[in-house]
A and B are shown apart, each in its own frame.
Chain A
């Protein structure tokens, strides 16, 4: 299991320099790490669509943003992604925790856990899923892709990949 500090460092090494989002237990330590680092900004958002809005503004002002959220938040920010990020071509990396994976979780996570990949396929947002061996590769690739294509990209993070 990768330490959250190291995961954060990979994001920063890749070039990401603006962070916002809404917590999930899977990324609890990661958000704490990002909040405590003096060299970067983490903006606690009240909702995932507000996070996408703040990230979009930050991008236009020269930052390369990351938005952290639980997959439930995809439902909350769907309109921000479709009618802001995609039509204006405002990129951000979405790090989305995959609750309800394999139908094993609290009831409120099961529907989104089943459909979150299909949801992004429908919207047309590319996505990949972290495993213990591809973390660095996916983070580096994501930076290259979102800055070249100017579109959001999602990386799903299941429980047990970072501490």
Chain B
């Protein structure tokens, strides 16, 4: 499974849930695969998708908030895991696409090939933790966490490191990304 396939599977299963996408290829792929007003594309501030998602989840407990994170992003802001665990927001779903490299800058290694990120989530007291490697498992687990209380942590191991074809950048300007995400929060049904 490459990360494009993983993001495609995740996006297929979403209805009106809010998604905070980490910067780099994750935002760009999510935008390319399924642009939706409920997606917040973080284009800078690497590491902070999990913190932004936490702020949304705490302030809007009636909405499910998905953080679409990467291993490099998570390792940069590892303190967000215990912050989330200490607060136990039931509506927060943390999905980490772990390809063990900084793919956006040319596949330089992170350290998640030797550090088990799901063990850190366990220590940080996430309520539900799973690691998946295959598309059918991913499909099953995303459906499960969308239906159940969190905070959930889903580590998606991306094994396919083949070079990705050229991918576009998010064409909305930051102001637009914010405005439509805020409208989606205001207008959304509870889910």
Chain A residues in the interface with B (C-beta under 8 A): 18, 20, 41, 43-47, 49-63, 65, 79-80, 82-84, 87-90
Contact = CB atoms under 8 A, between A and B. Distances in A.
Which of B45, B57, B181, B182 counts the most chain A CB atoms within 10 A? Answer: B45
Contact of B60 (A45, A51, A61): A61
B171 interface: no
Classify chain B's interface size. 35 or more
- Dominant secondary structure at the A interface: helix
Interface of B: 20, 40, 42-48, 50-60, 77, 79-80, 82-83, 86-87, 174-175, 177-178, 181-182, 185-186
A62 B53 CA distance: 14
Which of B43, B46, B174 counts the most chain A CB atoms within 10 A? Answer: B174
Contacts of B60: 61-62
Contacts of A59: 55
Contact of B56 (A50, A57, A82): A57
- Dominant secondary structure at the B interface: helix
Given A49-B77, A62-B60, A55 B83 contact: no
A50 B45 contact: no
A88 B185 contact: no
A61 B45 contact: no
Given A50-B80, A57-B53, A62-B59, A80 B182 contact: no
Contact of A79 (B45, B50, B87, B185): B45
